[in-house]
Amino acid sequence: MKTPLVSIIVPTYNSSKFLEACLESVKNQSYPSVELIVVDNNSKDNTKEIAKKYTDKVFNKGPERSAQVNYGVKQATGEYVYKVDSDFVLDKEVVEQCVKEIQKGFDAIVVHNSPDVRVSWIAKIRKFEVDMYKYDITHSSARFVKKEVYKAIGGFNSAITAGEDYDFQNKLNRGGYKTGFIEAEALHLGEPTSFWKHMKKYYDYGKDFVNYKAENEEESKEQLGFIRPVYLKNWTKFIRHPILATGFIFYNIFKFSFGGVGLLVGKVKK
């Protein structure tokens, strides 16, 4: 296997709670050739101080994470770029597996993000759902990409603050770029602990999804659908875990209700 440089871009904002664990997991990757770039958005906590313990490439850029990642890619010198959110911990072989897979002829690689079930009961329900999306391109998004491909599709759309990952993958698909998957995962530490705060987030996402739908009208029908083909493919999972399945159904009803109201409000305001 060739070992070209991989630039890992970590956008941050008041990220001190989980950032050290995230950057430790980057530092401990089995792949030897990694460049770490942290792009902060005017944090009020000690995010920058933590980041500077791991890299001298710490920048300040706003106004939100898509613009931060785009800026980080401009600073990157690697052949590949990999967006990692600041509350994710990577399996040790994530980067190595991504490089091996992309060298088989792919342009981008999906790293499955799995909820940390230790955090809350909501996280257990989310994992029940999210794990159905592993290897499913409709509900996944590549974050490990050839830098030349990233630039060719224009990177992340900074006008989209909810659904930007979906939008990014849709641009890859429309451009005819090939996306692969790996087995290793990233663990999401920042899972919700408050149900109602989580629903408020989906309400806010709903308002922002107006911009996403404007750019992805056709794809959004399946990506944002209440009943998804991937659920039917995993029908045995619902039978094996009836309590989680019931919780998932009620969770989705609330999630789509709050998101739907937010979407209506966003359309009226637009």
- Residue 35 token pair: 């460049």
The C-alpha atoms of residue 241 and residue 197 are separated, in whole angstroms, by 26
CATH architecture of the domain with range 6-193: Alpha-Beta Complex (3.90)
- Going by DSSP bridges, is the β-strand pair 179-188/88-90 parallel, antiparallel, or unpaired? antiparallel
What type of residue sits at position 142?
Answer: A
The C-alpha atoms of residue 68 and residue 60 are separated, in whole angstroms, by 8
Length of the chain: 270
pTM check: above 0.85: yes
Low-confidence ranges of the chain (pLDDT < 50): none
- From edge to edge, which strands make up the β-sheet containing 108-115? 58-60, 34-40, 6-12, 80-83, 144-146, 108-115, 179-188, 88-90
- Residue 122 token pair: 């909501």
Q: What is the pLDDT of residue 1?
A: 67
Q: What is the pLDDT of residue 267?
A: 86
